[in-house]
Structure 1
Amino acid sequence: MAAEGESTGFNIHPMDQFVVKPLFGGDTIEWYTITNVTMWMGIAVLAIIALMVLGTSRRAIIPSRTQSIAELIYGFIYKMVEDVAGHDGVKYFPYVLTLFLFILFSNLLGLLPKSFTTTSHVAVTVTLALMVFLGVTLLGLYKQGIGFLGMFWVTSAPLAIRPILAVIEVISYFVRPVSHSIRLAGNLMAGHAVIKVIAGFASMAVVSPVVVGAVTAIYGLELLVAVVQAYVFTILTCVYLRDAVGGAHH
């Protein structure tokens, strides 16, 4: 009876959807192993190419829906880079646009049934954040030289507390990639886990109507989160880029 109760028990495993699995069998994962993460990152890249390259290959004065979406995203990110990073930051617009599109499509594709949300893994988001962190740091040192370190010295503060503020600024600077990456991965993982838990109650006929409404509402919220988190990651990248190309303003 106990075994039967366990077999018919209500079990929810919300974290199973985040398990990395090899596509071609086996249990061992090496750095060269093609996994579900690899596949869905590839699909995201193909989706970006389909939108930005194939969708705009036949440009017209009266744009198609695909061309309109591509132009809207292009103009939105360009204005963001120009407004936040300044004129000197516009030359790095292609990288920022690519970063935004990759995160956006990875987030949105993760909402499809049976898909895998690559940006829910810290390994992916940390890589993206470190690329931004190292790129901005090297760029700042290249363009400003030793003057780049001046961003850690708050000249507007009283001289007595400047060394303390400098330590705080250095710590906060090196924490950037941590907060930059965990914010993205944490929001997506938490939302998907909640959807899985609530959807698990769909097997209980008594509360099915409530569950359907709850899952629909959570799914709509996750759709918003997918777009907002891509925007937040990108605009923070622009802020960090401004420090490198325009100098810090204290």
Structure 2
Amino acid sequence: MATEAHGAEEGSSLVFHPMDQFIVKPLFGGTEVHWYTITNVTLWMALTIVAVLALMVLGTSGKKQVPSRGQSMAEMAYGFVYKMVEDVSGKDGLRYFPYIFTLFMFIVFANVLGLLPMSFTTTSHFAVTVVLALAVFLGVTILGFVLHGTHFLGLFWVSSAPGPLRPVLAVIEIISYFVRPVSHSIRLAGNVMAGHAVIKVFAGFAAIAAVSPVSILAIVGMYGLEVLVAFIQAYVFTILTCVYLKDALHPAH
């Protein structure tokens, strides 16, 4: 019996739940979460906003000819997104640069802060990424109709295709257009969630002496990869936003 108990105890050390890190929990006790409940998601979204403001406001408050580290980071991020919007959406898209830049900075900081120990990655939740994607989708759709009226529907009509194929292609274009917010949101949340889950799995195996060195090396490697993914996913989300904006500004095929 003692041997079985010891075996069960050893077996329990292998039990870990990599998805537990994504559970939304109230900060001030209780288990129920309502729309007004302050949760770990609320906290880390607020910290993300504070971090963005700290970099962009405090980092650039005392501009110097020889920029500080914070000023250099802020200017580099600004120039990077500005060039992206200009290259993808054209000069007309620059009037929407403030929103796109805010979107990029929020996602980057949310992803990076989520890599801190004991933190919560807000962009791993579809509730967050779906709202971001729907805001882009509805925004560019409304903008397209405001600027072009019914001519915006030309986005779905491939005039260069043979006549009989145009209705079929129009249906495909409409379906792909309405799938945009789904793929836009799932891509970000899915990649962030998967990376964090893999790190948690390796961390669970690190408790086993026989495989601990390998697990630690795997954690370090995955952590470095996730730092890269944090920036790549923000870039992908932002550049897709620019592509959708371009379709709204210039809808003709």
User: TM-score w.r.t. structure 1 length?
Assistant: 0.97
Which deviations, in whole Å up to 9, do the C-alpha atoms of 1:146-204 show, x marking residues without a partner? 10000000001000010000000000000000000000000011100000001111111
Structure-1 separation of matches of 2:83 and 2:182: 27
**Structure 1 match to 2:7:** 5
- Counting only pairs closer than 5 Å after superposition, residues 25-174 of structure 1 correspond to structure 2 as 25-174=29-178
Q: Is the 8 A contact 1:86 1:246 kept in 2?
A: no
Which deviations, in whole Å up to 9, do the C-alpha atoms of 1:42-72 show, x marking residues without a partner? 0000000000001100001110010000000
**Structure 1 match to 2:222:** 218
The one-letter amino acid of 2:32's match is T
Structure-2 separation of matches of 1:247 and 1:78: 22
Q: Is the 8 A contact 1:201 1:207 kept in 2?
A: yes
Q: Is the 8 A contact 1:153 1:166 kept in 2?
A: yes
Matched length: 249
The one-letter amino acid of 1:147's match is H
Q: Is the 8 A contact 1:153 1:165 kept in 2?
A: yes
- The CA deviation at 1:6 is 3.3
Structure-1 separation of matches of 2:123 and 2:10: 34
Structure-2 separation of matches of 1:238 and 1:188: 21
Q: Is the 8 A contact 2:188 2:237 kept in 1?
A: yes
**Gaps spanning 5+ residues in structure 2: where?**
none
Q: Is the 8 A contact 1:88 1:246 kept in 2?
A: no
Q: Is the 8 A contact 1:195 1:215 kept in 2?
A: yes
Query: Identity of counterpart residues, as a percentage?
Result: 69
Moved more, 8-17 or 86-95: 8-17
Structure-1 separation of matches of 2:210 and 2:111: 33
Structure-2 separation of matches of 1:221 and 1:14: 18
- The CA deviation at 1:11 is 0.6
Q: Which of 187, 199, 203 is residue 199 of structure 1 equivalent to?
A: 203
- The CA deviation at 1:4 is 4.9
Provide the secondary structure at the position in 2 that maps to 1:57. Answer: coil
Is 2:241 the partner of 1:237? yes
The one-letter amino acid of 1:242's match is K
With over 3 angstroms needed to count, the CA separation of the structure-2 counterparts of 1:49 and 1:236, relative to structure 1, is same
Structure-2 separation of matches of 1:148 and 1:4: 69
Which deviations, in whole Å up to 9, do the C-alpha atoms of 1:217-236 show, x marking residues without a partner? 11111111111000000000
The one-letter amino acid of 2:111's match is N
Provide the secondary structure at the position in 1 that maps to 2:16. Answer: coil
- The CA deviation at 1:209 is 1.4
Structure-2 separation of matches of 1:14 and 1:187: 15
